[in-house]
Amino acid sequence: MDFIDNLVAKRFGDLSFFSTSSRLYKFEKIKKVTNETRIRRPDITLIDMGVGEPDKGADKVLCDILNIESRRPENRFYADNGILEFQEAACKYLKKMYNLTGITVDNVMHGIGSKSILAMLPLAFINPGDVCLMTVPGYPILGTYSKFCGGEVYNLPLCPENDFFPNLDSIPEDILKRAKLLYLNYPNNPTGQVASKAFYEYVINFAKKNNIFIVSDLAYGPLVYDGYKPLSIMSIDGSMDVCVELHSLSKAFNMTGWRLAFIVGSKKMIKLFSTVKGHTDSGQFRAIQKAGAYALENPQLINENCERYSRRFNMLVEALREVGFNAKKPKSGFYVYVPIPIGVKNGVRFNDAEEASLYILSNALISTVPWDDCGSFLRFSTTFEANTIEDELYIINELKDRLTSLNLEF
């Protein structure tokens, strides 16, 4: 223990949080094996199917707005809890995209990305000993910050046997009594599952019965394929009392680095959130919010992403199926989530997804993300780098050839 270690807050326990946690370790290992393989095999290029963000930048029209608005003196101030124009645009977007009626500017508030909204919500709810129910595998931020607040995380595995929905009936009584927050993320990262109206009704009843507040993360909401209509939990009767929902501009509008999202909920909830937020940040740059407002008023900008991902899903799923993976095109999102092969014909066996992923990486220079929370799965992303349809086809054919040459056994 040195000078700084002695001063670090107790919430970080034995300080292992600052070294290689298992989640970070997974990505560290992937990075290391990628670098080693690149040196060993300079003849082949990396096929990166592990990326979790769009391969394209924001539309030119949004960049032009940012350019113009960033020069306007009236935009230079702290934005605090946001600009009205963005909130009004969010209301229109919710009507257009999810058919949500009756939403006013009092029901929405911007955030510097969904990640920072997820980080702030536990501050408003979690006391030491309270429980945050988190679906796993998944995006961990709400749970991480619940722990920072002295709370506990209870994991709800998303297993193929349950169609990648949490089994809320399995939660022990003691946990239910202490649970305050439930995190949901549909369309789901990484499983690709989408929620039905019936599922949302069931969860809202559960939340009311057990006094649990739902945080629904719709980061991938508008990326939909083959006629599937995006669904918001806020469209379900009674949701306003027990839910908030997060909408991100990162994936839908390719604005990941711009850091812009919004939360929708009851007037009371938004006031609560705005108070915590007001003490935490001073709002996103107004010029970014203005570009964001334009984006939300023009959701047709998302269509190009949907077309590109849909086309890539068709190619990727077909290629993976030909190799032997049990791959299905999801209705939404940008991930294909497949069970791992058991090993290589007459060769190695994979004990878990991490082993399978690292084997594929070091022998075929194809990067995937492994998940071992409930069963062993690999996540392939349709956001791989490719400029033209010809490039996409080339990459998918190359992926198929490399995977075929591995002689994987399923």
Ligand X SMILES: Cc1ncc(COP(=O)(O)O)c(C=O)c1O
The residues of the shown chain that bind ligand X, judged by CB under 6 A, are: 52, 113-115, 139, 185, 189, 217, 219, 248, 250, 256, 261
| Residue among 270 and 365 whose Cβ is closer to ligand X | 270
What's the min distance (Å) between Cβ of 129 and ligand X?
Answer: 26
What's the min distance (Å) between Cβ of 409 and ligand X?
Answer: 31
408: closest CA among 317, 321, 291, 333? 321
| Residue among 56 and 345 whose Cβ is closer to ligand X | 56
The DSSP 8-state label assigned to residue 332 in this structure reads B
d(CA 32, CA 109): 40
**How would you label 243-252 residue by residue, b for 16+ Cβ within 10 Å and e otherwise?**
bbbbbbbbbb
What's the min distance (Å) between Cβ of 136 and ligand X?
Answer: 12
| Residue among 52 and 324 whose Cβ is closer to ligand X | 52
**Contact assessment for residue 81 and residue 278, using Cβ atoms and an 8 Å cutoff:** yes
**Contact assessment for residue 364 and residue 45, using Cβ atoms and an 8 Å cutoff:** no
What's the min distance (Å) between Cβ of 73 and ligand X?
Answer: 28
| Residue among 250 and 382 whose Cβ is closer to ligand X | 250
What's the min distance (Å) between Cβ of 80 and ligand X?
Answer: 19
What's the min distance (Å) between Cβ of 7 and ligand X?
Answer: 30
Q: Which residues pair with 366 in a beta bridge?
A: 47
> CB neighbours (10 Å) of residue 270?
22
409: closest CA among 337, 356, 335? 356
Local structure of 305: helix, strand or coil? helix
Q: Which residues pair with 374 in a beta bridge?
A: none
AA letter at 120: M
| Residue among 217 and 354 whose Cβ is closer to ligand X | 217
Backbone angles phi, psi at 400, to 5 degrees: -65, -45
| Residue among 365 and 369 whose Cβ is closer to ligand X | 369
d(CA 293, CA 62): 10
296: closest CA among 92, 101, 121, 75? 92
| Residue among 263 and 317 whose Cβ is closer to ligand X | 263
What's the min distance (Å) between Cβ of 365 and ligand X?
Answer: 24
What's the min distance (Å) between Cβ of 306 and ligand X?
Answer: 17
Tokens of 118: 């997820």
| Residue among 115 and 286 whose Cβ is closer to ligand X | 115
